[in-house]
Each structure stands twice: as C-alpha cells, then as structure tokens.
Amino acid sequence: MDQWRGGKRCSIDNGLQYVSIAAYLGIDFLGLKAKHNLLQRIASSATSYTIMITAEQCIKRHVEEGRPNSPLAFTSFPSGHTATAFTGAELLRIEYGGGIGIAAYTFATGVAFMRIFNDRHWLNDVLTGAGIGILSAKIGQWLLPAETRLFRLDKAKRNMSVTPTYSPADNHFGMAMSVDF
C-alpha cells in the first residue's frame, strides 16, 4: 500500500464522511420522496449520531489501540470517520430505499478505504466502525416512533404566513409572521 500510495496522502475523507448525512437531511428538496418529514429525520439522525459518537469514544478510550502512522496515538480502534459515513449511508438506505442505499454504501466504503489508504487505521478498525455506524443508524430508526409520539414530530403542517411590509413615509421595511401551533 505504501508503494502504491507513493508517499502521498489525501485528506478528502475528512469532508466526505458528512456527505451521506447531508444527503439524508436534504435530498428530498431535489424531488425525491422521503418516508419521514424533516423534523423526524433530524431527530433520527441526532439520535443515531449521539449513540454512534458515544459508543465510538467509549471504545476508543477503553481499547487504546495505536494508529498505523503514529503508534503513540492510541485512538485507532474503531474508525470514527467510517462510523460517521456508514451511519449516514444506513439512514439513507432506510429512508430512500435500495438504489440510493447502494450509492451511499459505495460512498461510505470509499471513505473506509481512504482511511486505510492514508495509513490512519487498520482494517479491523474500519470494519468495526462500519458495524457501529450501521447499528447506530438502526437504533435511531427503531427509536423514531417513540420520539415522534413524545415530541409530536408528525403533527400536520402548521399554517404559517409571512407578510412583508413597507412604510413609504419613513422608508421602513418590515415583516410580519404568523404561525399556528
């Protein structure tokens, strides 16, 4: 791998890990039909990521495995980047179905590959990271009905009106908004 890489490193995986969760929250604005509304998606993603980060940090501190590129940094196991990418990929698969899911999983696998390519993680780190990510996303989705009942996330569309105002006498602009809740 070192010879193949030729001493180069690519840090694009730092940003790519968040693409799937951004797609999960916003891809329905492009016309795709989502199963849940935006509030439910925010709630399920927040739950999933909270579980994932908690589990990942606890295991990192407990296991203390050295990284391949710097053995004195004992935060190798499991891979947080991979867990983040796979959480988003699994949420996307559950929300939008198989086609988007395959694309998201391909993307997440690419992030996992980049972690090994950049010599940041061992293979078992990214495997466990993927497992933790997928499991966290599933737990987030399993808890969604309870969250929906608790916070009334499936409430019908609220009526909202926004009226811009302009007063020519004193040249003032303003805005009035009314929301039914």
3-state secondary structure of 176: strand
Question: 17 or 140: whose CB is closer to another protein?
Answer: 140
Total residues at the site for another protein (CB under 8 A)? 34
**145 sits near another protein (criterion: CB under 8 A):** yes
- Which residue from 13, 28, 56, 65 is in contact with another protein, where contact means CB under 8 A? 65
Q: CA 78, 9, 60: angle at the middle one, nearest 5?
A: 15
- Whole-angstrom Cα Rg for the chain: 21
Residues 6+ apart with CB under 8 A from 5: 117, 119
**2 sits near another protein (criterion: CB under 8 A):** yes
**116 sits near another protein (criterion: CB under 8 A):** yes
- Which residue from 24, 77, 96, 107 is in contact with another protein, where contact means CB under 8 A? 77
Question: 159 or 178: whose CB is closer to another protein?
Answer: 159
If you search the block for the tokens 């179905």, which residue do you land on? 97
Ramachandran angles phi, psi of 165, nearest 5°? -125, 150
**63 sits near another protein (criterion: CB under 8 A):** yes
**17 sits near another protein (criterion: CB under 8 A):** no
In the chain, what is the straight-line distance between the N-terminal and C-terminal CA atoms, in Å?
58
Question: 17 or 120: whose CB is closer to another protein?
Answer: 120
Residue from 52, 72, 69, 56 nearest 115 by CA: 69
Q: Which residues bind another protein (CB under 8 A)?
A: 1-2, 4, 35-36, 40, 63, 65, 68, 77-78, 94, 116, 119, 122-132, 134-135, 138, 141-142, 144-145, 148, 154
